[in-house]
Amino acid sequence: MSDLRITEAFLYMDYLCFRALCCKGPPPVRPEYDLVCIGLTGSGKTSLLSKLCSESPENVVSTTGFSIKAVPFQNAVLNVKELGGADNIRKYWSRYYQGSQGVIFVLDSASSEDDLETARNELHSALQHPQLCTLPFLILANHQDKPAARSVQEFCYGEFTVEKEHIPWSAFHEHSAFKSGLLPQ
């Protein structure tokens, strides 16, 4: 654990003690939501979650299998189950959908046409899955800093169109998601 995380832990413990002594009770409980984060290998799922958890970007290693991270926000905690995106792992994604309350689908906006077609097929498969079809979806177009990156508009209104009128969904590219306050910086 880094020195910064240890310091944050002690500050939080101090805060809890202060609340218990002065305010006669623990701090209000933040609601927790279980999300599943999916996308092809190299789309940036692990990097995104590491950034959200204030982890060092140097230590990011692609996920093999799955990992779970608690992403703290001011008013809630997102328990994000990240599923690896390799060919041999994607066939098992549906085994991890149970209990999810939302979906984050991460796209590499600079990927090849073949990879984009694979991502499109995986997204549409997830949109139709019985355990996910009624959940809110966040579609994140990552790697916007690459020269070949497609815009969010190309994904929303082009061949990647998501026809999911009966449930909420949103599409963002990473930089706008952080700048708009959707994701903390």
The annotated binding site for GTP is made up of 39-46, 85, 142-145
Residue 50, Cα to own-chain centre: how many angstroms? 10
**Residues comprising the binding site for Mg(2+)?**
46, 63
> How far apart, in whole angstroms, are the C-alpha atoms of residue 32 and residue 75?
9
For the chain, the straight-line distance linking the first and the last C-alpha, in angstroms and rounded, comes to 21
- Beta strand 66-72 with 77-83 is antiparallel
**Residues comprising the binding site?**
39-46, 63, 85, 142-145
> How far apart, in whole angstroms, are the C-alpha atoms of residue 5 and residue 94?
34
